[in-house]
């Protein structure tokens, strides 16, 4: 019996035009698509009529499909002879558990292929006018998850090392960190990052709801709270954030219309 292949595909940050050509081709020919909640509706809807689609993100009650359930579903569907797309927001292996899934598929003898996607760690800042590297401002880029608690004893994130990178002129991007933004900013300050260091938050990057709030390490959490920033959002720390202030008036098209001003307020966000 034919055994299907599982394709771990990155859907990008939300805009369906940022799908790679290969990702679009694989989606067009797949028998089954298992997609996360962060995959944009426009991406899912584009292929919904041609394949079996299964939402393995959060259900309406807020319950998340477990990783074990997703693993079993990928294997079962492939062994039934289906080519399966495991569709993830951004890139499959940038905090997307793609590494765990390919290990499981390999243990089960299921052929797989990874199709890289545009990660929001880079896309979110740059569509808001913030290049993550810049010869005059930033020669390094560090990406971390914001789900970790910087105060817990066994954190896998070394906030002292991250602070050193920012002080040295590097760019720090925190993904999935809206709920702990204040803690993360405080951890950076406690480890030597000046409070006046530029910072920004980009919500719903590349989507119609895209919105940017800028400030400093000392103010970004408060400003984000004032405008009601919600996930998904990427937080950027570092001198390179200041580039946005120089270019924002010339950002073209819908991105410029959605971009929030330096001193954004809740009313600004609601009117975008």
Residues labelled catalytic: 36, 58, 176
> Is 54 a residue whose pLDDT tops 70?
yes
Long-range Cβ pairs for the range 244-250 (8 Å, 24+):
244/128, 244/129, 244/130, 244/200, 244/212, 244/214, 245/214, 247/129, 248/129
> Is 183 a residue whose pLDDT tops 70?
yes
- pLDDT grade for 6, boundaries at 50, 70 and 90: very high
Q: Is 145 left (phi over 0), alpha (psi -120 to 50) or beta?
A: beta
Query: What is the reported pLDDT for 46?
Result: 77
Q: How many CA atoms lie within 13 A of 218 on its CB side?
A: 6
- pLDDT grade for 252, boundaries at 50, 70 and 90: low
For the segment 188-216, the average pLDDT, to the nearest whole number, is 95
Query: What is the reported pLDDT for 255?
Result: 47
Least confident interval from 45-59, 80-94, 223-237 = 45-59
Query: What is the reported pLDDT for 258?
Result: 43
- pLDDT grade for 154, boundaries at 50, 70 and 90: low
The pLDDT mean for the chain works out to 88
Query: What is the reported pLDDT for 156?
Result: 81
> Is 242 a residue whose pLDDT tops 60?
yes
The percentage of the chain sitting over the pLDDT mark of 90, rounded to a whole number, equals 71
- pLDDT grade for 62, boundaries at 50, 70 and 90: low
- pLDDT grade for 41, boundaries at 50, 70 and 90: confident
Query: What is the reported pLDDT for 262?
Result: 42
> Is 263 a residue whose pLDDT tops 50?
no
Least confident interval from 25-29, 45-49, 56-60 = 56-60
């Amino acid at each position: 019996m034919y055994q299907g292949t599982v394709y771990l595909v990155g859907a990008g940050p939300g805009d369906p035009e940022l799908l790679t050509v290969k990702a679009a081709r694989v989606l067009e020919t797949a028998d089954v698509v298992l997609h996360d909640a962060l995959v944009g509706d426009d991406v899912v809807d584009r292929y919904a009529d041609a394949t079996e689609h299964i939402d393995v993100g959060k259900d309406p009650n807020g319950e998340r499909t477990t990783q074990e359930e997703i693993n079993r579903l990928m294997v079962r569907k492939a062994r039934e002879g289906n080519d399966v797309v495991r569709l993830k927001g951004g890139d499959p292996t940038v905090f997307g558990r793609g590494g765990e899934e390919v290990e499981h598929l390999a243990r089960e003898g299921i052929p797989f292929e990874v199709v890289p996607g545009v990660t929001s760690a880079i896309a979110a800042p740059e569509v808001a006018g913030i290049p993550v590297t810049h010869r005059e401002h930033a020669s390094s880029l560090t990406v971390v998850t914001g789900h970790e608690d910087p105060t817990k004893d066994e954190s896998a994130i070394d906030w002292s090392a991250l602070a050193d990178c920012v002080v040295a002129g590097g760019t720090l991007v925190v993904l999935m960190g809206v709920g702990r933004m204040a803690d993360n900013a405080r951890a950076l300050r406690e480890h030597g990052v000046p409070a006046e260091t530029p910072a920004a938050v980009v919500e719903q990057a590349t989507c119609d709801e895209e919105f940017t709030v800028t400030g400093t390490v000392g103010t970004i959490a408060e400003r984000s709270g004032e405008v009601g920033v919600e996930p998904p959002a990427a937080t950027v720390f570092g001198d390179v954030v200041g580039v946005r202030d120089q270019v924002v008036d010339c950002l073209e098209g819908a991105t410029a219309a959605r971009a929030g001003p330096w001193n954004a307020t809740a009313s600004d966000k609601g009117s975008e």
